[in-house]
Every structure is written in C-alpha cells, then in structure tokens.
Structure 1
Amino acid sequence: MENADLIATGVEVEGGGRAAMERNRGAVREALRQIAEVDAANLTRADRERLIEEIAAEVVGYGPIEPLLARDDISEIMVNTARSVFIETSGKMGRTEITFRDEEQLLRICRKMVEGVGRTVDSQSPMCDARLPDGSRINVIIPPLAVDGTHLTIRKFKKDKLVLKDLVGFGALTPEASEVLRIIGRVRINLIISGGTGSGKTTLLNCLTGSIDHTERVITCEDTAELQLQQPHVVRLETRPANTEGSGSITMRDLVRNALRMKPHRIIVGEVRDDAAVDLIQAMNTGHMGSMGTIHANDPRGGLARLEALIRTGPGYQSLPSHIIRKDISDSLDVIIQTQQLHNGRRVITHITEIGGIEGDNVVTQDLFKFNFKAGRLEGQGVIRPKFQDRAAQYGELENLVIALTEASENRA
C-alpha cells in the first residue's frame, strides 16, 4: 500500500466536529507510525513522535495552533502573520513561541477552517468570518488588505457552558444582581446587552438564556453562529455573504424577518449592527416578549443612541423625527445591560438599566445596578419596585425580585 493510501485509510471525509477530528488524527498517527517503522531514516524515537504529531495536526487538524485550540483557558488566539502568534488568557494578552513554517502554510490552514462552513477566502474575498466545529468564531483577512501577511483571529468558548453563578464567581456581578438577571431572563423582558469588543456580551447573553423556559421556541439570528443556548427548542439561523458574483447574500434583516414567520416565542440577535434593528424592535413590540440582542456601545445611553442610529438606516426611517424613533424604542425595550473589560483584564457588568418610558424627546432610564469603580463591585441603586414588577408578579417572581433589590441596596458601600 502506498504511503498516501495508508494515511487516508480510516480517515472520515465528512465533518462531525472535534470528536471526528480526534478519530481522524488517531488514524493518521497510526499510519505514520507504520510508515516510520519501514522508513525510519536517522531519527530518534522522540523526533519521530514529534514529526508524527506535526504531520497529523497538518493533515486533519489546524497545524501549529492545534495545542492552543485544545486549551480551555485561552479565550482568544491572534495570528499576526506566520511568525507571530498571541493568545489571551484571563483577560491578558501574551506572545507565544508558536510559528507557522511560512505564509503558505498559514493561508492553507485558514482556508481549511473557512471551507468547513462553506465559505472562501481568496483575492476576490479577502475577508471572512466563519466558525469551527466546536463553535469558536474565526476571522481571516489576507493580503492585499492585510499588508504584512495573513491574519487569523479565533474567539474561543469554554467547553462547559457558563451560567450566571459562574459570573458571580468571576467577580463580574454580585449574587443579588445575578438573581435579578435570572428573573429578567425568565419573565420575558426585552433587553439589549451593550459593550465593547471582548467585554463579555456574548457570554452574558448565553448565561441569560439559561433562564428561558424549556417550553419556549427560541430563534437565534447571527452573522456567525456562536450562541450556546441551553434549551431543547432552538432554531439557529446564520447570515450568508455574497458569492464571488456579488449575489446570494442573506442579511441579518432577512433572517430576522424570516424568524418572525417561524412562530417564535423569542428572537435573539447575536449582534445588532444594521437596519435589522428595525425588525428586532418591531418584534419586541408585537408579542415576541423576551427577545434579546447585543450592540456595541460604551454605556447604556450610548447603546440607546446607537440603536436609534441603526434604526434610522432602515428604509423609510431616515426622515422620521427623533422623538418617534425614541418612542418606539421606549415602548419596545425594557432593560439595557452594560458590560466592560477593565484595564486589568477583568470583565464586569457596569449597569443594569431599566427603560422607564419617554419624556419629551428623551428616553427615561433608571439604574437598578451600577458598578462602583472605587469599591470594585456592582451595587444596587435603591430601586425596589422596577417598572417590570408586574411581569415578575405574573411569573411568581415578584417577591424574589424585591428581596434581591432590597439586599443589593442594603449592601451598597
């Protein structure tokens, strides 16, 4: 049997995620060992084993970064050309000693990653968002847009799904705030999570969905599917970029509009970044209570302004007076939650803010919780009876809500 045939024997052609990849790697390792026994060359056993691992990673894995992908303590992998690989652990970035042989190897690995979900990266499409079988989100950008060479960024997610109590353990919020967020998630409050890149928006959104009743039908709309919902009745939708001819794209707005026809209880938009904001707000205001999304902004007020700006990009909304758009937002949205990554790498929730209606041209807000940077913790702001208390009462959660808010206010520094 030829060497190539021997390596191919037992390798699964189709996907199957991380488990299939490990089975394939085992088959390749065994084939390589058989070849090494016949043609051992002048290598020590240790050198042969190292070479076998490198070839196996190249054939059925993702080359030099395979060990990084296997580590659960890494949240980001940043490949800044073939000779420079950085990682983020516990909110801190650092350079590794890992390198690729050359630009060609790095580009080949990137193409293998994106082709796994039917996408391409080449001179016609030099930027690409995709995901790995384990749900990790990847971004690739190649020359000529990337001046110094191919860049690959991987946002990894923990294998074990986090819950709100885990965020308490990480110091992102207090037990009282965790209880309020649990109630908010359960009683079908419309909310937006606001924050900067890498501030923990998606992680918090995943945790909040843990409170959704298992009888509810949830539809998620994302550019790259990364949400890890914990319910049995979930439909996951993903946008599609245009092909090389410039046609065939499916936008976020297309997905949200289609989701409305699929009898959802809730619609969750991974990131609101365009005029899909129009459809999400309309969904929130037409019976799909408990819908959620994330948005990029530095504070709750900025999140509301960003949402207004995105709505204004929708056809027919450009010329609408601001007070009409703000009235739609205040009628639809109940809560905005702000996340932030501190200078020391710690990710925290800085605001849990309730939308209280509109006065004149301005959306009225009140903070239920606000981060005390001097004390280093999230604190209650003395609001004991929030606007959504009636919804909490309908679900039998009013007493729990009042107790949590009272204790948070009493523990304020």
Structure 2
Amino acid sequence: MDAALVAEVRGHLLENPGPVTTSAVAAALQRSGRVLGSAALLELVKRISAQLAGAGPLQPLLDAPGATDLFVNGPREIWTDRGRGIEPVDISLGTEADVRALAVRLAALGGRRLDDSQPLVDVRLPDGVRLNAVLPPLSGEHTVMSFRVPRTRGFRMEELVTGGFITPAVADLLLRVLRARANFLISGGTGSGKTVLLGALLAEVDDAQRLLIVEDSRELRVDHPHVVQLAARQTNIEGAGEVSMADLVRNALRMRPDRLVVGECRGAEVRDMLTALNTGHEGGCATVHANTAESVPARLEALGALAGMSPAAVHSQLATAIDVVIHVRRHSGTREVCQVCLPAVSASGPSVAQVWSAEAGFSAENRARLDALLSTRAGTP
C-alpha cells in the first residue's frame, strides 16, 4: 500500500481525534481524493489503528508471553528477549520516518517530549512498559528504541529454585537473611535478574510488615499484602516538577516503613539509603549495578561521590549498613545467583568475604561468620 497515502490518512485522523473506524478512514480517503476497494479499506484501517494505538505493530511483541525486552535498531532491525536470550524478529516498521513517529508518539503518551531539541527520552508508558528512545544523529541513521516489559506478577522463591536461578541451599540461606531482618544488597549487570530476585524475596516477608519501595521507574512486582510503591518523576517539558530518588527515600522514612526498599541505587540516593540503614531501619535492601560482588564497594564509592560523600564516609557507612551482598549474573543465556558475600572494611579499605559462589561452593569460615551474624540479628543465643 502507498506509504504516502497511509501518512496522509493518518495525518487527517490525528487532526480529528477519535476512534479509528472504517467510516473515519473512508472520510479521510474522500478528502484525499483516493478510492479503495473494501478489502484495501479494511487493510488501511488495520494499519492505521496499529500505528495510532499502543506500540503499533510492536504491541504483539510486547504482549507475547515471557517477553522481557524489545529492541528497535532500525525499521527492519527488531530484536526481542522472551527469556531465552535476544533473538531477531522478522517484522518491518516501514521507513525511518515511521519509526521516529512511533517513538515520538509513545514518548508523548508518557508525558515527555522527543524531538531534535530533546533527542533522548526515558519514560514509563501507561501500561507500565519502560521506553528509552534516541533520535538521529545521536543514534546514527536510525531512531533507536529499547523497551523493558514488566511482569504482571512477581516470581516466588520456589519458582526461582525450580527454574535454576538459585540453588535450594542458597535459597534457604537467603530466607534466613530475610527472617533475621539483615540488610542486604543485590548486585549485578543490566538484565541479570536483580529485580526478579528482590521481588521474590520480598514476597516472603511476613504479611504484618509494611514495605516502602522507592524506584526510579516502577518495575518491582511483589506478592505481598502491604506494599507502598513510590516512583521518581523527571522534569516536565517546561523543565520543572522533578522528584528525585533521594527526595523519595527521605520521604519514605517518614511513612513508618518496616522495611525500606530502594529499587536501584544509581545516584545521590545512596547517601540517604546508607544513612537510613544505619538508623534502626532493619531488613532494608536495595539493588546496584556492579560487575562482581567484589566491585560493589568501589561502585558505592562512586555513587557516594555524586552525593558529596568522601570515600572514608562511604566506608564507615557501609561497614554497618549492609550485612550481605548477593550477586546475580546472566550466564550462557540464563540468569543465576552466583555469589553471596559479607562486606568487610579494614585499614586497606572495603572488601567482601565470599560465603558462597557458584564455582567454589560454601566457605566454612565465612559461612560460620554469617550464621553468627544472623543468630545475633534474630536475637537467638
């Protein structure tokens, strides 16, 4: 079908908002002076409806069972991840102009502007999907989009054990960490399963406890009866209205949380998170990007610098704020828990002591140290 005709009819419908019906498309066609048969008219209605509703032709890919991510690198370069790793999709979005128009419309759905003056956008769409889009020339010749698809429900620990994400012995250990109200940090790379594990652990928290969750964009799905979720807000088109993660962490402390949860520490909010976990808020937790558990202290140092904290201040806060570090990774197309560690601070600086790793198993010495810590936390002899 003539792309110019599709664009002309779509433009008319955008100027006259309303349902994309056969009669509306027929009226737009009449205005253009074109005549189509009934079959072609229905096809035009279908194509324009897809372009004006949801994510257009990408919507079925976002709705597919198991979909976690979707990537658009160009009109014919579409990739998806349905939990088995990234794989190509045989679909065409038309021209570069069509891809750009789709990205601009989706950004507007989330209340953000995307154009030459604002060529980058990261926004949560009305259905919860998170979109990141970049326009040329920053992205080369084509508009690039990345979608993160939220789960409709969170995992439970038994599901993660059955799926091979975590071993039964380590799952039992982490449940002890949870019951003892120890503070823990989950580290890992993008898409490694940090949020999946955090949501599964929080689902095991006693129903009588109140969970306060702070996130940059709502991603956590927690099967728990008392959850309050706060999400940061970016500036609007006028450059006003921002509510930062640090603002939300400070406010969450005034909402009497039994457990404070920071969905991901990626900036100055690390100062407020560490301070909160050092002032009697037991059972707190957060996630952070890091290559290994050993690199977590350096990562926290870097984030602390964004909040004006010296390395020494970060070290002293870390020494008493975080009890356990859990590292997850994506390995050979699958995601797994691969390290459980104890943070340690010495004269030479902060480090971690490995309690368990996927390669070496349990360390008897460090396992005994963790057992003693959990017994103390739980108030047992």
Deviations 1:67-109 (A, max 9, x none): 1011022221100122321112334222212121223332332
Distance in 1 between the 2:78 and 2:64 partners? Answer: 15
Q: Is the 8 A contact 1:326 1:361 kept in 2?
A: no
CA distance in 2, matches of 1:297, 1:35: 52
Which whole-Å CA distance do the structure 1 matches of 2:297 and 2:329 have between them? 16
Any residues of structure 2 matched to 1:152-171 within 5 Å, and which? 152-171=145-164
Residues 380-401 of structure 1: per-residue CA shift (max 9 Å, x gap): 333245243225644x8x9xxx
Aligned to 1:359: 346
Structure 2 unaligned segments of length 5 or more: list them: 1-11
Match of 1:89 among 82, 92, 97: 82
Whether 1:147 and 2:137 are equivalent positions in the alignment is: no
Q: Is the 8 A contact 2:177 2:374 kept in 1?
A: no
* Residues 1:112 and 1:267: Cα distance change in structure 2 (over 3 Å): farther
Partner of 2:9: none
Aligned equivalent of 2:103: 110
Does 358-367 or 226-235 show the bigger shift?
358-367
CA distance 1:54–1:184, change in 2 (3 Å): farther
Structure 2 partner of 1:220: 213
Residues 223-242 of structure 1: pairs in structure 2 closer than 5 A: 223-242=216-235
Letter in 2 for 1:360: A
Distance 1:41-1:277 versus aligned 2 partners, 3 A rule = same
Please say if residues 183 and 211 of structure 1, whose CA atoms lie closer than 8 Å, have aligned partners that are also in contact.
no
SS in 2 for 1:80: strand
Residue 189 of structure 1 pairs with residue 182 of structure 2: yes
**Is it true that 1:338 corresponds to 2:327 in the alignment?**
yes
Alignment partner of 1:200 is 2:193:
yes
1:388 correspondence with 2:373 = yes
- Name the aligned partner's letter for residue 356 of structure 2: F
Matched, 1:348 2:336: yes
- Residues 366 and 198 of structure 1, relative CA distance in 2, 3 Å threshold: same
The residue that corresponds to 1:405 in the other structure is none
- Which stretch has the larger CA shift, 143-152 or 332-341? 143-152
* Paired residue secondary structure (1:144): coil
Quick one: which of 271, 287, 301 aligns to 2:280? 287
Match of 2:318 among 329, 332, 339: 329
Measured in 1, the distance between the counterparts of 2:215 and 2:118 equals 20
Q: Can you list the C-alpha shifts for 1:46-80, whole angstroms capped at 9, x where unaligned? A: x7765554333223221111110110222211001
Q: Is the 8 A contact 1:196 1:297 kept in 2?
A: yes
Q: What whole-Å deviation, never above 9, does each CA across 1:258-279 have from its counterpart, x for those lacking one?
A: 2222222222222211121111
Q: 1:257 aligns with which of 250, 269, 286?
A: 250
State the Cα deviation string for residues 29-49 of structure 1 (Å, max 9, x = none): xx439988xx994455xx776
Q: Please give the residue correspondences for 1:46-85 in structure 2 after superposition, counting only pairs within 5 Å.
A: 51-85=44-78
What per-residue deviation string (whole Å, max 9, x for no partner) do you get for residues 323-362 of structure 1?
Answer: x4312201110111111111x211111101123x533343
Instruction: For 2:105 and 2:259, locate their aligned partners in 1 and report how far apart those are by CA, in whole Å.
Output: 35
State the number of aligned residues: 360
Query: Alpha carbons of 1:116 and 1:181: their partners in 2 closer, same or farther (altered >3 Å)?
Result: farther
Residue 8 of structure 1: how far off its partner (Å):
7.2
Segment drifting more, 60-69 vs 211-220: 211-220
**Distance (whole Å) between structure 1 residues aligned to residue 161 and residue 220 of structure 2:** 20
Corresponding residue of 2:165 = 172
Once residues 141 and 351 of structure 2 are traced to their aligned partners in structure 1, the CA distance between those partners, rounded to angstroms, is 48
TM-score by length of 2: 0.84
- What are structure 1's unaligned runs of at least 5 residues? 12-27, 373-377, 399-413
- Seen in structure 2, the aligned counterparts of structure 1 residues 112 and 244 have a Cα distance that, compared at 3 Å, is closer
Q: CA deviation at 1:291?
A: 1.6
Q: Does 1:368 align with 2:355?
A: yes
Q: CA RMSD in A?
A: 3.0
- Tell me how far apart the structure 1 counterparts of residues 105 and 205 of structure 2 sit (CA, whole Å): 36
Structure 2 distance, partners of 1:331, 1:387, is 16
User: Is the contact between residue 256 and residue 276 of structure 1 (CA under 8 Å) also seen in structure 2?
Assistant: yes
1:217-260 deviation per Cα after TM superposition (whole angstroms, max 9, x unaligned): 22222221111122233222222223445443322222212222
1-structure distance, mates of 2:225, 2:345: 38
Identity of aligned residues (%): 31
Aligned equivalents of 1:259 and 1:138: distance in 2? Answer: 26
> How big is each residue's C-alpha offset from its partner over 1:306-331, in whole Å with a ceiling of 9 and x where there is no partner?
1122113323x23x6x3x43122011
